[in-house]
Chain A
Amino acid sequence: MVLQVLKAHVEAIFAQASREYPDEACGVILGPAGLDRGEVLTPMVNSAHSPTFYEFESKELLALYRSVDDHDQEIVVIYHSHTETSAYPSRTDIAYASEPGAHYVLVSNRAEIAPKTEFRSFRIVDGVVTEENVEILDSF
């Protein structure tokens, strides 16, 4: 498996992660149903406002799913930042992962690796984590 993602989206996710640091930043990339191609970057509010936890705000979550349904889209990527640890799913991430069809992207902007960053993608299905390759493209 491979996740194809736009360079502009990767840059925007890191910019969001920096803005919201030290809190975790989160969001989704949406795409047309069935294509597995994330075209629309949609940052979400982390209602936990926490450096160790994220949760999509409840009303925004409902609006997101309604919009996805109405526009015949799918959630291609669910992303969040780890601000102190590596870009690998934590036990919490695995416990709450509830979209078996989504690519779970973890980014790390922890200080100890700056100015480097990490951007990794995983499938999380029934508690099993499988890393996949990431291809960063200028356009689809």
Chain B
Amino acid sequence: MTNLERTEVRIPTILRPYTKGEKVVGASGTTVSEIISSLESDFPGLADRLLEKGELRRFINIYINDEDVRFMGSLEAPVKNGDSITILPAVAGGQM
């Protein structure tokens, strides 16, 4: 399957310094991993905020449409034409 269209990716506030303040950017790829590589080539440094040792960071959530990619193959989750991707840092913490 090819994905020639650009996929819309929503960038959270804390990562917008990498995208020159842009809230929505385009990326190409047929998997989450390829989308992240595409983002990295346009916005160097962004991938490191999403990945750790080649895996999705524990406190970064990525959604394809309404689904958390952790439940659909994580970085290998397939991205189709017309899908929309949202990146959100987890809201988390605690007294430990």
Residues in chain A within 8 A of chain B (CB atoms): 24, 26, 44, 48, 50, 52-56, 58-59, 61-62, 65, 78, 80, 82-85, 89-90, 92-93, 95-101
Contacts and interface: CB of A to CB of B under 8 A. Distances in A.
Contacts, number: 81
B91 A92 contact: no
Secondary structure class of chain B's binding surface, majority of residues: mixed
Contacts of B13: 98-101
A84 B94 CA distance: 11
B52 to A, nearest CB: 13
Interface of B: 12-14, 59, 61, 63, 66, 68, 70, 86, 88-96
Contacts of B92: 48, 53-56, 92, 96
B94 A62 contact: no
Nearest to B68: A58
Residue among B90, B91, B96 with the highest chain A CB neighbour number at 10 A: B91
Given A62-B63, A82-B95, A98-B14, A56 B86 contact: no
Nearest to A82: B95
B90 A84 contact: no
B67 to A, nearest CB: 8
Contacts of A53: 92-94, 96
Given A59-B68, A62-B61, A54 B88 contact: no
Given A59-B66, A59-B68, A62-B61, A98 B89 contact: yes
Given A62-B63, A96-B59, A56 B95 contact: no
